Chain A
């Protein structure tokens, strides 16, 4: 029963970024834990950097929030100087520079996803340590351990938008089923030439996996209704 409420806030997490034919889909769970206590069961781990670039945050909540604020600020300046929307590559590299140069003090894993007119939809992974990796899909956070095999089998090139989104939701819900530090709802953000679409999948809309039971209303609800007749012999 050791609830360490003074432990730093960490995004236990499952985060995913997937490219499809025409854009990207980013997905994440919504659990923020402080030790063994769930500090926020409905957090939004997919943060906006610009109109066309979003990031998924994992690791220390404070570190990832502050770095995303800095990158948003630098990107905004860059957009003004450039005179047009910045590219996903620049956004990812800014994240990488801050992450690498402060590697001793930061503990966070970021997935950068977005769409620009030059390269289309792109996903960049910036894990602990500050490497940058351009990938067709990326997974991160504690829940990602359970998804490597799944993606090896399920991911394919040239998916449609709906296929990609279904894949992401299925993957996050599988990770939630097995990882204690992931849970809550599934949030997705789809970015393409037409703009940004945000979606929300609540816990009860997700499929049930092995040994998971149907939700039941609490039996205590019976008690709140009128009290039972006293028994008579």
Chain B
């Protein structure tokens, strides 16, 4: 009967060996390196023909914006996409990993991937790392059984919902959804609502900003609308942008190294296959 416990993940999983040493170092005053988080507002909703996912495009490193136009809607399968919030490295790595597992599974089964397959792969991976893989995901897709939308939390729990929001801007986006969502939206209404929810996160949450990405998944067809809305254009002092006239920068010294004399050009036969 002890075998039952052993059936829980035996290989892999989080190694807790260094945790005590890390705690000791923290007490001594060492600072943990900050990692890039996708502050983030990510949303998803189910409409009459399928699923629409949305995300902002700001990636932060502490208080600094590291990337003003990153991609938070990750490809999982031709019919399944996944928005990721939390540590950028974790969301990228876990979605890439499950995406390749899904592809191998497609080759083995000869069928289109199902959203629940992606869901189970993600939740079992995240659970075995006990929340240390900081990835909070909104997974959506349309498969043979219909449209599906799920949220996956870093500890490995999942929820199945008709509309969902995650990330630091989730409260702002959820307020928009709770007020305006209804079942059976059309594609245009759905895209508009998703954009509104993301904009709500962009303008009211400090960890989210820049542009709105939208992804519409329907039976047999997926539309990835990268930068569907750009509500934060760069404002230049002059409308022509910056203009750096020659002579503005002081030249301190000049050194010219002719490279032609260093490179030997030899006549050889062309490469053949």
Cα A102 to Cα B171 in complex, Å, equals 35
B167 to chain A, nearest CB (A): 8
Q: Does B69 contact A (CB under 8 A)?
A: no
Contact of B157 among A37, A61, A97, A101 (CB under 8 A): A61
Say whether A62 contacts B1, CB under 8 Å: no
Considering the complex, give the chain A residue whose CB is closest to the CB of B120. Answer: A69
Cα A62 to Cα B156 in complex, Å, equals 5
Q: Does A213 contact B (CB under 8 A)?
A: no
Contact of A9 among B7, B134, B155, B161 (CB under 8 A): B155
Q: Does A167 contact B (CB under 8 A)?
A: no
Interface size bracket, A side = 20 to 34
Q: Does A195 contact B (CB under 8 A)?
A: no
Spot the interface stretch: A13-21, A39-47, A80-88, A134-142.
A39-47
Which of chain B's residues have a CB closer than 8 A to the CB of A61?
A: 153, 155, 157
Give the A-B pair count, Cβ closer than 8 A. 60
Which residues of B, 129-176, contact A by the 8 Å Cβ criterion? 130-131, 134, 151, 153-159, 161, 168, 170-171
Say whether B161 contacts A60, CB under 8 Å: no
Say whether A98 contacts B159, CB under 8 Å: no
Which residues of A, 1-25, contact B by the 8 Å Cβ criterion? 3, 5-6, 8-9
Given contact pairs A62-B153, A66-B123, A102-B5, A3 touches B171 in the complex (Cβ within 8 A): yes
Which of chain A's residues have a CB closer than 8 A to the CB of B4?
A: 74, 94, 97-98, 101
Contact of B153 among A3, A9, A43, A98 (CB under 8 A): A9
Interface size bracket, B side = 20 to 34
Given contact pairs A8-B131, A37-B171, A97-B1, A65 touches B156 in the complex (Cβ within 8 A): yes
Which residues of B, 155-207, contact A by the 8 Å Cβ criterion? 155-159, 161, 168, 170-171
A50 to chain B, nearest CB (A): 18
A159 to chain B, nearest CB (A): 33
Say whether A62 contacts B8, CB under 8 Å: no
Q: Does B224 contact A (CB under 8 A)?
A: no
Q: Does A70 contact B (CB under 8 A)?
A: yes
Cα A62 to Cα B129 in complex, Å, equals 12
Q: Does B2 contact A (CB under 8 A)?
A: yes
Q: Does A32 contact B (CB under 8 A)?
A: yes
Say whether B157 contacts A70, CB under 8 Å: no
Given contact pairs A62-B127, A70-B8, A97-B1, A9 touches B168 in the complex (Cβ within 8 A): no
Among B124, B156, B161, the most chain A Cβ lie within 10 Å of the Cβ of: B156
Cα A148 to Cα B159 in complex, Å, equals 30
Say whether B1 contacts A65, CB under 8 Å: no
Among B157, B170, B171, the most chain A Cβ lie within 10 Å of the Cβ of: B157
Say whether B155 contacts A60, CB under 8 Å: yes
Say whether B5 contacts A62, CB under 8 Å: no
Excluding A37-B171, A65-B158, A66-B123, 6 further A-B contacts by CB distance (< 8 Å) are A8-B155, A9-B157, A39-B159, A65-B156, A102-B5, A105-B130
Chain B contacts to A: CB under 8 angstroms: 1-2, 4-5, 7-8, 123-124, 126-127, 130-131, 134, 151, 153-159, 161, 168, 170-171
